[in-house]
Structure 1
Amino acid sequence: MDGEPIRRRYESLHRTAQAQETGARIARCARELFVTRGWAATTVREVAGAAGVSVPTVYAVYGNKAGLTRALADAADLSGDLPRMLAELEAAAGPAAQLAAMAGYDRRLFEGAGDVITLLRDAGRTEPELAQEYRDGRRRADGTRVEVFGGWPDGVLRPGLAAADAVDIYAALCNIDVFTVLIDERGWSPDRVEQWWCAILARELLADPAQ
């Protein structure tokens, strides 16, 4: 009798682990199909078949096709490792190091989930729900920069540069298009892109790039 509660607890954990693995498998297959075939050309039935589950299972886990996209967007955010960026922001010795922490996050995000970000943006031109997912992601990124730049004392940003303009400059420099051009067309390594971002952000945004 004493062992039954333990067995039941482990059975529950086992079911949870299976559910998580099923959800991850569905998301992986959806990502592959959406990226290779396109959002509009991919059906929930095809995602289910690729994942080896039933169509009702897909709906039970994610609700609908748009829910699959939200799962991909969440996975994209995870690839950037937000907790790592937060730890680096808090431990940073100064504004330049904080810019480096944010640039490192963007490098990891684009390197690990650039295909998903591009999918959301491109498919969003005809699919309002996808467009909203893309806008939400951009809004979250801007929110981080607003919070960081707004926490700096006066005199850290270049003279005459407002925090809102600093956010715009950051977004213009560190985005999926710049990353893709430098990696795919110019043959840069991700390390080189990240190093360049760190240097140019400090030069463009800070009154003293060495601070």
Structure 2
Amino acid sequence: MADVKKRTYHSPLRTGQAEASRAAVLRAAHELFVDQGYGATTIAQVATLAGVSKPTVFAAVGNKATLLKVVRDVAMAGDDDPRTVTERADVAAIARAGDLGRAVELTAAHIAAVNARYHDVHEVIRGASGTDPVVAELWETAEAERHVGAGHLLARLHAAPALPPQHAQDRLWLLMAPDNYHRLVAQRGWTRSAYQRWLTAEIGALLDA
């Protein structure tokens, strides 16, 4: 008897429902983490706000620590696409700018856009990192990834820094910190445009542009 291959069942409706549930869970988790902190947020609260069951939260995303990590990733990238931030079109445009001044402006715009989405989640992670070892590990990962990202941005600028390369990367890592956006915009009332102009000037000085 000939082997019969099993057909793979694919339901666009079911896939769409799963994606909608995941999106709802991530929106709910983001809102609750920012409003009341990581420690006070429960899976039951996320499920209720998302309009799904607790098992659906686990199936759609994972446990609470995974929820925070994915919320962070989505806030940084702007969507749930698995591509890294530096693989996005706005970062690719920096290398194609053709003019250093324009490349610096695009770099500042990219950093401002990321931090506008992410700064409040960054504060949640910072706040919980002192009491939860899993979140502390996520904090350390976030800091390290930003340093790597600073190196990628410097490479795309195609410019010789005014400082030794390691110092330039460290300085850009510091400038990119979401803490700066949070303090200047959320706490001190700067506009995002003013923050972006400040970044442009600081990055330009770093490159002696």
Is the TM value for this pair above 0.5? yes
Shift of 1:37: 1.5
- State the secondary structure of the residue aligned to 1:149: helix
List alignment gaps of at least 5 residues for structure 1. Answer: 1-7
Shift of 1:184: 3.2
- State the secondary structure of the residue aligned to 1:40: coil
TM-score in terms of structure 1 length: 0.82
Shift of 1:86: 2.3
- The reply on whether 1:146 has 2:151 as its aligned counterpart is yes
CA contact (8 A) 1:73 1:133 kept: no
Cα distance per residue 1:174-205 (max 9 Å; x no partner): 322221222134332101111111112111x1
The change in CA–CA distance for 1:188 and 1:151 in structure 2 (over 3 A counts) is closer
TM-score in terms of structure 2 length: 0.82
The residue aligned with 1:124 is 129
- The reply on whether 1:206 has 2:203 as its aligned counterpart is no
Q: Distance in 2 between matches of 1:186 and 1:51?
A: 33
The 5 A counterparts of 1:119-198 are 119-150=124-155, 156-158=160-162, 161-198=163-200
Shift of 1:39: 0.9
Shift of 1:151: 6.7
The residue aligned with 2:6 is none
Q: Distance in 1 between matches of 2:178 and 2:169?
A: 16
Give RMSD over aligned pairs. 2.3
Q: Distance in 1 between matches of 2:90 and 2:171?
A: 20
In the comparison of the two structures, how many residue pairs are matched? 195
The 5 A counterparts of 1:103-122 are 103-122=108-127
Shift of 1:55: 0.9
The residue aligned with 1:3 is none
Which of the numbers 83, 97, 100 marks the counterpart of 2:102? 97
Q: AA paired with 2:178?
A: I
Q: AA paired with 1:93?
A: G
